Structure 1
Amino acid sequence: MGTPEDEAGRAQRAWAVLRGQAARSQPRTAALLYVVAVGLALAVAAQPLWFVPSAFVLLLLVGAFLLRWRALVVLVAEVVVLVVVLVLVGPAAPAPGVLAVIALACVAVLVFARERERLGLQGAPGALMLVDLRDRLAAAGRMPTLPSGWVVDADVRSAHEAAFSGDFLVSRVVDGGRRLEVVLVDVSGKGQDAGVRSLQLSGAFSGLLGAMPPERFLPAANAYLVGQAWDEGFATAVHLTIDLRTGDYRVATAGHPPPAVLHAGSGRIEVLTTAGPALGVLDDVDPVPSTGRLHPGDAVVLYTDGVVEQRGRDVDQGIDRLLGVVESAVAARPGGARDVLAGVHAGDDDDRAVVVVRRG
């Protein structure tokens, strides 16, 4: 069996082949659907008990998935003409309710296709591209393999179980395996729009991570985000660096909730004091970091605001609840990020992410 990277590479190549085949077969697919539409109309006229006009709705849905904008417009126009002909025929005339359903289907398909065209997502290749974007974002968040004595775990969940999340993380082991760097980011917005921005930022931040001293990472990330000039061009982030030989850590935040450190020896959970504006708001940022050392059994917990912010509840109360969960799920037993998310019972109306790094 191959490595996860090999499997991901084969999956990406398979998607590329499918996209190419869909693009090349577009004229044949359109011609086939046009012929099917005519055949369906003839079948309805000849055998109205076996073939019903509402079958045009299914044909339109298939066309919306397979065809690009112009070919789909032609298919919709053909369906309208064929239905009008059926009405004029008399015996096979569709009922008024069926005509209303077909008309609504035509409008809905055109509106849906027009929006996809505006986003550049046309036909089946567009749908495959979205899947590819989602998979790439998930692949960027895979945690690296750490040396013996260290465990890192992460769990990222999107609002309402959507395919795309505004929360993402990027991690890397640098300096010949001696240092771990993790950045957890919360992009403004939710859903597909936030997911597209997350994909772009994850690629940029992945390139910056480990390529410069830790104290320069957040300023460089801020400069990149400011340069994008997005309408919703801000994001919060927390950047963690750990020396895997000594356990020395450095944490800096940019408008992000404060990380927590579990001290196994005393059982105390410390909320780290950090300061820094959100990324993309000011031209220059100079975050104030927090430093310390992780001893055997200690753990550091990173999270996004969706974990501690809920409607009708103060953020400080949410953080207190999180600390209680960390004490029971991480300190009392070797739980991970999934256990923390399950314990806080955060609502699913916002993206949520937790990262737990533990020194064994």
Structure 2
Amino acid sequence: MTAWPARLSEVVPRRNRTLTWLLALTLAITALLLIWPGTAPLTGLIVPLLLGSLLLGPRQLPWFVVAVMLALMLAIARQPSLSPRTVLAITILYLLCFIVLVTSFRRSQLGVAGVLGESMLVDLRDRILSQGTATDLPGGWLLESALRSAGGTPFAGDFVVSTRPRRTGRLELVVVDVSGKGEQAGTRALQLSGAFGGLLGALPPGDFLAAANDYLLRQNWDEGFATAVHLSLDPTTGEFEVRNAGHPPAAQLEAGSGRWTVHQAEGPILGLIEDADFTVVAGVLRPGDALLLYTDGMVETRARDVELGIDRMLGQADQLLRGEFEGGADRLVDALGSHNDDRALVLVHRRRA
């Protein structure tokens, strides 16, 4: 039993095995078309063509499409008659072959098959989402993040990155809103999330936004700007610092008074001007307090400006977070904001002893 896979690997290299099986399937369907030309449907060749577009790499796919087209030519020559319906089916098949060829040329820029390329994007998306929640905070803390993209697509221009450098033990977290929305901003978000994740854990809190600004300026993107809010929190004492780069301000719930305080730190949008300065707002999260960091999709719509949106968000937070902070980030994101814009929110809560 073990000799068969070894012999198969010698005859057909692993990288060509999928192509071999697809060619065998194409030959089998072509044989049926040649034996029973009036009965077997020409559209049967769509099956290997579709599978090839999903499974073959950009180097193999064009040659496989040519093979399918040759098989189709042989099958056409055996047709007893060419009715208008048959001509239409042939036209559609050749059109599909052309579409797959164009797709293979576009994939050559990435160099991977369709299914593999999609899995790579999904993996990158999952990495972005996983960077948003630090799992090693002390038991007295709750950290939640929620993200929704415009139109409900898996990719968004809003993202969250968090880390706890071993040398300080602090929570370093940044909420970023990349220019654009949905898939248009998703590719830039993929790149920035990795870069910001490296900067966030390697630099002192006061240097992060300046370094992020320099990084964006070096990219020379047509829409090369982003807004961000950076939180640096000491989980032991509850002391925190917030720095802002053209982003909606952080909001703190003071459990003692039940009131919300908006922390208006100032700073320019990232990627627009060099040598930018970012002011800092310092505070303390005491037991029972909470802090909200969010993007403008949560508070801004065409019919409402940011200030009114913040007031509405805090009013909803009073209701949705009353007595229960678990799952609060998801509840707030689902209840607020525009579904035509990306939305992200981070909830940091210090539990009572």
Flag whether TM exceeds 0.5 (same fold): yes
- 1:318 to 1:96, Cα distance in 2 relative to 1, 3 A: farther
Deviations 1:103-141 (A, max 9, x none): 231222223222222344434433332233223223322
1:250-269, aligned counterparts within 5 Å?
Answer: 250-269=241-260
On the 8 A contact 1:248/1:293 being kept in 2, the answer is yes
- 1:236 to 1:78, Cα distance in 2 relative to 1, 3 A: same
On the 8 A contact 2:57/2:111 being kept in 1, the answer is no
Q: Distance in 2 between matches of 1:305 and 1:112?
A: 36
Q: Distance in 2 between matches of 1:159 and 1:47?
A: 51
Q: Distance in 1 between matches of 2:23 and 2:200?
A: 52
Q: Distance in 1 between matches of 2:248 and 2:227?
A: 9
Report whether the alignment pairs 1:73 with 2:62.
yes
Deviations 1:234-271 (A, max 9, x none): 11111011222222221111111111111121111122
Q: Distance in 1 between matches of 2:269 and 2:210?
A: 11
The Cα of 1:228 is off from its aligned counterpart by 2.2
User: What stretches of structure 2 of length at least 5 have no aligned partner?
Assistant: 1-12
Matched pairs, number: 336
> What residue identity is the alignment partner of 1:28?
R
Report whether the alignment pairs 1:341 with 2:330.
no
Secondary structure of the structure 2 residue equivalent to 1:218: helix
The Cα of 1:56 is off from its aligned counterpart by 1.7
More displaced 10-residue stretch of structure 1: 88-97 or 182-191: 88-97
Q: Distance in 1 between matches of 2:324 and 2:310?
A: 20
Partner of 1:284: 275
Partner of 1:8: none
Deviations 1:203-235 (A, max 9, x none): 222222243321111101111222222232211
- 1:53 to 1:90, Cα distance in 2 relative to 1, 3 A: closer
1:1-360, aligned counterparts within 5 Å?
Answer: 25-48=14-37, 51-91=40-80, 95-174=86-165, 178-192=169-183, 194-335=185-326, 336-344=328-336, 346-360=337-351
Deviations 1:58-77 (A, max 9, x none): 22111111112242212222
The Cα of 1:283 is off from its aligned counterpart by 1.6
Q: Distance in 2 between matches of 1:50 and 1:284?
A: 74
On the 8 A contact 1:261/1:271 being kept in 2, the answer is yes
The Cα of 1:357 is off from its aligned counterpart by 0.4
The Cα of 1:193 is off from its aligned counterpart by 5.3
Q: Distance in 1 between matches of 2:107 and 2:339?
A: 26
On the 8 A contact 2:133/2:143 being kept in 1, the answer is no
Q: Distance in 2 between matches of 1:156 and 1:203?
A: 17
On the 8 A contact 2:163/2:173 being kept in 1, the answer is yes
- 1:99 to 1:315, Cα distance in 2 relative to 1, 3 A: farther
State the structure with more CA Rg. 2
Secondary structure of the structure 2 residue equivalent to 1:207: helix
Q: Distance in 1 between matches of 2:303 and 2:89?
A: 47
> What residue identity is the alignment partner of 1:113?
S
More displaced 10-residue stretch of structure 1: 208-217 or 268-277: 208-217
User: What stretches of structure 1 of length at least 5 have no aligned partner?
Assistant: 1-23
On the 8 A contact 2:26/2:68 being kept in 1, the answer is yes
> What residue identity is the alignment partner of 1:339?
R
Deviations 1:115-170 (A, max 9, x none): 22234443443333223322322332232321132211111222333232222111
- 1:135 to 1:49, Cα distance in 2 relative to 1, 3 A: farther
The Cα of 1:308 is off from its aligned counterpart by 1.9
Deviations 1:164-212 (A, max 9, x none): 2222111122466742211111122344553333232222222222433
On the 8 A contact 1:253/1:275 being kept in 2, the answer is yes
Q: TM-score by structure 2 length?
A: 0.86
Identity of aligned residues (%): 44
Deviations 1:261-304 (A, max 9, x none): 11121111122212111111112211122222222211110011
Deviations 1:309-346 (A, max 9, x none): 334333333222211111112245335211111221x3
On the 8 A contact 1:164/1:192 being kept in 2, the answer is yes
Q: Distance in 1 between matches of 2:304 and 2:36?
A: 63
Secondary structure of the structure 1 residue equivalent to 2:146: strand
Secondary structure of the structure 1 residue equivalent to 2:160: strand
> What residue identity is the alignment partner of 1:342?
D
- 1:110 to 1:142, Cα distance in 2 relative to 1, 3 A: farther
Q: TM-score by structure 1 length?
A: 0.85
Secondary structure of the structure 2 residue equivalent to 1:260: strand
On the 8 A contact 1:272/1:290 being kept in 2, the answer is yes
